[in-house]
Each structure stands twice: as structure tokens, then as C-alpha cells.
Structure 1
Amino acid sequence: MDWLLAFAQRAHKGDSEALSRLNAWLADWCESNPPYLGPNWKCGQEAALRVMQLAVAAQMLGDVKQTTPGLMDLLRVHLQRIEPTLQYAMAQDNNHGTSEAAALFIGGSWLAGAGVTEAVRWQDKGRYWLENRAGRLIGDQGSFSQYSLNYHRVMLDTFCIVEVWRRENRLPRFSDHFETRAREAARWLHDMVSPTSGDGPNLGANDGARLLQLADTAYRDYRPTVQLAMAVFAGQCAYKEDGPWNHVLHWLGVRTPEECAPGPSSRVADDGGFAVLRRRDAMAMLRYPRFRFRPSQADALHLDFWVDGENLLRDGGTFSYNADQRWLNYFAGTASHNTVQFDDRDQMPRLSRFLFCDWLKTTKVAQLEVGQLTSTFSASYIDRLKASHSRHVNLADSHLQVIDEIAGFAHKAVLRWRIAPGNWQLDGHRLTNGACSLAVRASVPIVRLELVEGWESRHYLEKAPVPVLEIEVTQPGTLTTEFRWTV
């Protein structure tokens, strides 16, 4: 129901026909989707998302206190759909639970304010589970249970809608613990996202979800969410310059804070297994295994690299949850990440479409060191078959060095660097496009060094070719990669 927000925006700006069209579309939807029948009622989270969209639209139009009997009935049947399967949603330990808790809290308080006594139970249950999910699914350093940049955005947008609703309707505050976890989640996304482009690592599962479409920005521009979440939970602007990232604050009635947060910085979020190294306009993100919740991709020690908002070394993404098995295995597998693959197998064996088993554990993690000339971080793991990988990352102002120590494999190991599309030329062990270069050396013979075609998915159901440099060895040893760019 993204169209609810679009019509509400037009009506708020004086379009006399927009409100009539909104109500006509909503009436048509209700007639075409009778309660609990058909695909639009199959999932409790779908019902929850509709409740949140209705609430945001009503706030924008100033109609929260003037709820019609028809809208009250619509809210009631949605909450009655969500409540019976709430335990299933919570058992997923992901955005299903946060969404459905938010809908119960918002819808319940909305109906309770209109005199519906049974709605107090929904409001209280929603508040309880929002507190519970914030404490369980968000770590001390802000990582979210799904290890995904986009699902992190969905969770943050959900919590922002909840908090804005609470303030607007003068409901009791959430706990300090809830606010602290939400604030750290906002800072986590702030440090991941490029302030230049608004984009960030193509990290983890991504099904195309985008909850708050109130700004005319690209799907992969995360700045509206960062700006909103930092304003709501940290009382700071993430970006001091005016831009479309401020539009969402305007539409939700959130005051723009006078204080500005420092720019994105280096950080380690050990609660989820993320290290961010930043120097000037460069950012390296290392993913290492700290799995408290089910991993959706075999991406241990993947390295993402950005310069001035451009993703130069990149993650493959998701593509689709319902593709052929070949594509499911590829995009979620080790081969679609900038890491080492042992003996043509994934780092963890796949149990089903969404599940891996034998979750990896990090064996060593070095402290992040930010020096005058370089920033460094390292981590390592040993998999179920005793293959080991240790990765040491050094980021300087004009070059990136990655040292991989590998051992314990049976036949071969392949290091992959997935590179931004461009006119890349391979000359010996050096790859260049004129502005950037990547060179590899090894302590053991390299049996194959080849530029091949891989695939990436920047948006759901979309895939495109991407150049991939593959370096293959058959003996344990050390591989050293140096990436240089023009500054």
C-alpha cells in the first residue's frame, strides 16, 4: 500500500482529488480482498505493513483523531489477523516480529484512543514485543539479527514509525534499553552508508523491501532512513546539508535537530561480525562470523570496498528467493563474495533455501587499530573440514592491502575479487582500468589467475554481469592483494 503515502502527500499539498482517490482505492482494495481470504491475507507481516502505512497516511493528513467506523473496522480485522500467528513471527527472529509488534502497538493504541476497549490488549502486547525484539535482535553495537543492510533499514524504519506515532499521540515512553538499542542501530547504519551516494554494502539477504517511501530517492539510497533514525533516536542530524533525505522528517513532523553527528567513522560491531575501516573517502567493510542468528549467506571474511561513494569491490547480492537452484546457490554462496572458497564448496553446507548448518565461528579477532598512516583489522576462522582462513586488512589513504593466510584444504583454494564493471585489463598479476589497479602476489605458486564473468544483483529480481578476478592455488600459503586508486 505504498500508494497510500503517495496520495496522502498529494492531498496534504492541496490536491483536491487525491483524498477521494485514496478512499476509492482503499474501498476497492477492501472489496477485492475480503478478510482472511486470498494471498494478501496469507502473511501476518503483510497485514502489519498495511497497518503502518495506514497510520503514517493518517498522521500526514491529520486524521488520527477523526477515525471513521470503516477504518476502525479495517484496523480491527488486521489486528485480529496478526495476533493468532504472533508466536510464529517472533520465532523467526527477524523483521516479521518487529513489524507485527509495531502494528499491534500502533493499531491497538489507535483503536483504544477511539474507545475500543479490547484494543488495549493489542497495544500492550505490541509494546511488550517491541521491547523484547529490540533487546533480543539488536546487539550492543547496533547489529541486527538478519545481517543485512536492507533488512536493517526495514527494522529502523519500523522503529521510527513506532516512535513518531508514540510521540504524536503522547503515549508513555519506551524503556531506556529500547531507545539505546534503536540509537545504536541508527549509528550502525550511519557508519555503513556512503554520505556521498547514500549506498552501502550489498550485504546479506535483500528482497526489495522498502517501507517508508516518502523521499524521491533511489532504492539503494539509505540516507533518508539514516537521517530520520539519527534525528529520532540520537537527537542529531546525520547530514547537515539540505537534501531529499530531509523530506521524510518533514512529512512525519520530526523537527530537524540543530546538533550534527560526526561523519561516518571506523567501528567494530562484534555483536554481528562487522568491521568498518574508514580513511578520508575510502571505506572497507570486513564481514566475519559472529552468528547468534541464522546466516542467510556464506560470506565469511567477505570484504567490501568503497571510494567516494563508488563500490569498487562488491558483494553479489540476493537476486531472488524463488530462482533456479543454480542461482540460489550462487548468490547466497561463497562464490559471490570477495573471500576464499575451498575445494569448490560453500563455507557452510546448505540445509534448505534459507538455512545453512555448521555455522562458522571466528577463531581470532584482532582489535581495530586506527593509526596515523593506516587502519588495520584482522579475523580468522576454521571450518568444519579444518580448512582455515585468516584475513588481515590494512587501509591507507591511497591503497588497500589484504593479506590472506590459508591452509587445511584438500585440493585447491580460490580467492575472488568481484570488481565494479569497467574496462579492466589483466597484465600478468596486475589488473587495471587506468584509474585503479589490483595486484596479487603469493608465497606459493599461483596455478591460475584469470578474469572471468560473474554476476551481481543490486536490486531484487535483477542480475547483471560483473568482472571477477580469480586466483587459484593448490598449496597452503599467503596471498597478498594490493588495491590502489587515484586520489
Structure 2
Amino acid sequence: SSPSSTPERKEKFTLYVAAQAERIYKNIGYAISTRSNHTISEAFGLWLVGLLFPELKDSEKYLSIGRKLLEQEASAQIFPDGSYSMYSLNYHRFILQIYLHAIRLGENYQLPFANSLKVSVTKSIEYLSHLIDPQTGEVPAYGSNDGALVLPLNNCDFTDYRPLLQLGWYITKGERLFESGAWDEDIFWLCGAESLSPSGRGVRGEGKTSFPDGGVYLLRNTNNKAIIRCTDFTSRPSHADQLHVDLWIHGHDIAVDAGTYLYSGEGIWRNGLAHTNVHNTVTVDGKDQMTMVSRFTWTNWSKGKVIKHDKNLWQGEHDGYQPVSHKRSIMALEDDRWLVVDRLTAKEPHHYALQWLLNDFPFEQNDKSVVLSLGEMKYKVKIGMAEDSGNFSLVRADPNSTRGWRSRYYGHKEPAISLMLEVKRPQAIFWSFFGFENDVVEIAGNGLKINSTIISLIL
């Protein structure tokens, strides 16, 4: 009804849409071959044109192939545990925004999708609900992140996943996951004003901590959680991040993933944050856990394996550094404390480098530890070795390397605190303690004495 939308303009717009749809249709084979978010987005484009422009002679063809691909790729790309085959949480949001939009449009036009599609989307929303920090809406920066946000329907920050989960929970379950807030706006735009009336609150299954298809595991403590990467890749890896750990304390992301920054930067910044050495794990001989042959392609995929996972202990290993064996144990201790033990074993000497990338909080350094100021709380991170002193270093925003940087938004990097402990020997046991400023931590024989408790380092 707008006077600006003249018949001539509407005709030109329709011709433009038709041309774009035909271009996508003629090249859909390539999109399918990528088995990625591109497959899903281009399938949605065809389906959308077929749905909204029935006057086009090929609209039924577009609608049919788009629907078929959307249903097919939901089952193919979303793993049974709800995680995503691209091993990227940003691309996971990308495809879920598309699917949620498609589900709503299909319902409005009385053309619902197969139940299998909605089941896959529901599992994905549930999966992300376990990873999100409800206080900030943030999730770990796992995998590739090009800044994509296909439904910017709210004023929340790019890193806030609450709009996605609030919308997804409402569409798939008819309830809200969070209290009302700025993240409700997506529901309004896609579900109408009636959706803003009070509705029931959803409840997450807090007990679920294992997502083996995507290689993500959780340990929960009183007011914090560790999120661990360990996977046997079944599709193209995104980052070389086996045994990486994100640690969240009282809503603060303490130990963080570096993110992505740039795909096509110069020199070290050409997808430089995909490498092992920027992750919270151990790098051996300065190499990646896999071989990077292009910006987005890895060969010799490393294989992660979970050894043990119970309420307070997770143990795993990977084979990316054969003949070196790397096993990691993560323990949730009492009262928001954590201990991580890395055991590396080989017959010949190798260079081992343990790194922790910490959020850029105000800090004080003391020997091989830092004390972070989290408001009124002082949180200590201390690292050491069982049988050696090692070479300790702390770097923040190194101007000549990727060390001490993180990227929360594509194309933007910001300082972070990198703690590193290095040694060259055949075998090494690293320990990393996360606790409070006044905690006393010291070696005691084959164990680590934390205040008055001794914990064995031979795990």
C-alpha cells in the first residue's frame, strides 16, 4: 500500500527475485557438494521464492527442491545429539535462524515441514541451551566465525545467543527459556504480538553433559562450568582444538577460545586463530594437531577419545601428535575450584607448550600465577609441572604474533592474557589450578597440595 511501491518497481523486484532464484537453481549442485551452511541457505532461498512468488513459472520447482533439501540437510548436518557438523557455534546459529524462519513461514502457509526437520532443530536448540551462559547470553567461540547473523531482529549484542534460544524454545516447545527481556523481540517479529503474552518457562535438562557427536563435554561446579572439546571428526574440522577447555566462573568467561578474527588476513592473520597454539591445550614441537593445507582444509584429522566422564572428572586424549601421547584430566573441585592435569609421554625429547588464554581482566602476576580481578572476587590461575620448573611466560597482545589475542567479532581483535609453560623432555606432567587468591598450591611428592588436600598427579 506504500506509494513508493509502484507497479513498475514491483515488476522489477519480481524479475530480480526470479533471476536470483534461477542462478541459485542452476548452481545448487555446488552448494549441495559443500555440505555446509551454504547448502541450507541456498535451499531456503529457493523454497522462499517458490513460496512467496507463486506467479513465477518455476515457483513449484523451486518450492519442491528447496523443501527437499532443507529436510534432507537438517538430518545430514545436525548430529543426533543436536550439535552441528561444521563444528562452529556461529554457523550453528546461522542455520538455526534459517530453519526457525522456515518453520514459521511453513506453518503460516499451511505447508509444514516433515517432523524430522523439527526434531533436529529442537535437539539443536536444546544442545545450545547447555552451552549458553544465561547471565550474558554468550557461548564459547568454537570454530569458524565470519560474523554472519541472518536475522538481526533485536538490539542484543552479536555474541548474545538468548534471542536465538528464546525464539527456538518458543517455536519448538511453546515456552520461553528465559525471563522476558530484549531477547524477546525475535519472537514478536516471527510469531506476532500474541506471543508476548505471559507463557510458561521451559526447563533445561541440567543433567546432560555429553555431546559425543559434536565432541563437546561439560563439567559443572557450584557456580561455574568447564566446556571441553574432544572429537572423532566425521566431517571437515574447523579448528585444531582437541582437548581445548573453556571455563566460566560466576558468569565470567575466564579461560576462553581465541575465536577467528580474519579468514583472509595478511601473514599470521590468515585464519591464524584456527591453529592449536592459540587454544587452551598443549602444543607439541610447535605443530598443529592436524595439517592445515588451506584456510579451511585440514588433513590428517586428529582423533579424540574420552577415557572417563563422571560428575566431577573428565579424562580424554587425542592422537594428533603420534608418537607423543597427550592425555588430559579435568577435575571439578569443591567451591568453584578446578584442576587440569596434562600428561605427555614419548620415548624421545619433544618441546611441549601448555597455554591458557584468559579474558582480559585486571590482573596481578606472581611467579607462575596470575590473580584476576572479577569485581570483588579475586580468582587465581596457577600453572606448574610435577618434575620440572619449565619456562613460564605471560604475554598480552603480542604485536608480532597471534599470542595474547582473541576475537569476539569478525575483523576485530582485542587483547587477552596468554599464560604459557614450556619444556623439552620425553615426558611431562603439567598442572593448572583455578581457584582463589589465598589458596596455597604446592607440589607434594607425586601430588599437588591445595590448601590442606593432596591430589595425585598420576592419573
Q: Please classify the TM superposition score into its range, dividing by the shorter chain length.
A: 0.7 to 0.9
> One-letter code of the match for 1:483?
F
CA distances 1:47-105 after superposition (whole Å, capped 9, x unpaired) = xxxxxxxxxxxxxxxxxxxxx54443332222111111111112112110110111111
Correspondence for 2:17 among 58, 61, 75: 75
Correspondence for 1:308 among 247, 250, 271: 250
Spell out the pairing of 1:41-440 with structure 2 (5 A cutoff): 68-112=10-54, 115-171=55-111, 173-239=112-178, 241-253=179-191, 255=195, 258-263=199-204, 265=206, 266-328=208-270, 330-362=272-304, 364-370=305-311, 375-383=312-320, 385-396=322-333, 397-408=335-346, 410-433=349-372, 435-440=378-383
CA distance in 2, matches of 1:288, 1:390: 11
Distance 1:122 1:385, change over 3 A: same
CA distances 1:30-54 after superposition (whole Å, capped 9, x unpaired) = xxxxxxxxxxxxxxxxxxxxxxxxx
Distance 1:213 1:478, change over 3 A: same
**What corresponds to 2:385 in structure 1?**
442
CA distance in 2, matches of 1:478, 1:182: 42
* Structure 2: tracts of 5 or more residues without a match: 397-403, 438-459
CA distance in 2, matches of 1:429, 1:218: 35
Distance 1:248 1:305, change over 3 A: same
CA distance in 2, matches of 1:111, 1:356: 41
SS of the residue aligned with 2:316?
A: strand
Between structures 1 and 2, the one with greater strand share:
2
Shift in Å, 1:485: 4.7
Moved over 6 A (4+): none
Shift in Å, 1:176: 2.4
* Structure 1: tracts of 5 or more residues without a match: 1-15, 28-67
SS of the residue aligned with 2:343?
A: strand
> One-letter code of the match for 1:464?
E
SS of the residue aligned with 1:80?
A: helix
Query: Which one is further off, 453-462 or 71-80?
Result: 71-80
Contact 1:343 1:410 in 2 (8 A): no
**What corresponds to 1:458 in structure 2?**
408
CA distance in 1, matches of 2:245, 2:180: 32
| Alignment: residue pair count | 419
Question: What RMSD in Å do the two structures reach over aligned CA positions?
Answer: 2.3
CA distance in 1, matches of 2:202, 2:307: 27
Shift in Å, 1:429: 3.0
Distance 1:343 1:264, change over 3 A: farther
CA distance in 1, matches of 2:349, 2:322: 9
Contact 1:430 1:438 in 2 (8 A): yes
CA distance in 1, matches of 2:3, 2:381: 58
**What corresponds to 2:417 in structure 1?**
467
Contact 2:306 2:315 in 1 (8 A): yes
Percentage of matched positions with identical amino acids: 28
SS of the residue aligned with 1:446?
A: coil
Distance 1:264 1:199, change over 3 A: farther
> One-letter code of the match for 1:437?
K
SS of the residue aligned with 1:312?
A: strand
Distance 1:365 1:456, change over 3 A: same
CA distance in 2, matches of 1:179, 1:322: 36
CA distances 1:257-289 after superposition (whole Å, capped 9, x unpaired) = 833222473521111101122334312110112
> One-letter code of the match for 1:303?
V
SS of the residue aligned with 2:85?
A: coil
TM-score when normalising by structure 2: 0.86
CA distance in 2, matches of 1:243, 1:349: 44
Shift in Å, 1:324: 1.4
> One-letter code of the match for 1:481?
S
Contact 1:198 1:309 in 2 (8 A): no
CA distance in 1, matches of 2:319, 2:228: 17
Shift in Å, 1:368: 3.3
CA distance in 2, matches of 1:390, 1:236: 42
CA distances 1:319-375 after superposition (whole Å, capped 9, x unpaired) = 11110131226311011110100001111111111111100112x3145322xxxx3
Distance 1:410 1:106, change over 3 A: farther
CA distances 1:137-188 after superposition (whole Å, capped 9, x unpaired) = 10011111111111111011010010011011111x3222211111111111
Shift in Å, 1:301: 0.8
Query: Which one is further off, 222-231 or 102-111?
Result: 102-111
**What corresponds to 1:57 in structure 2?**
none
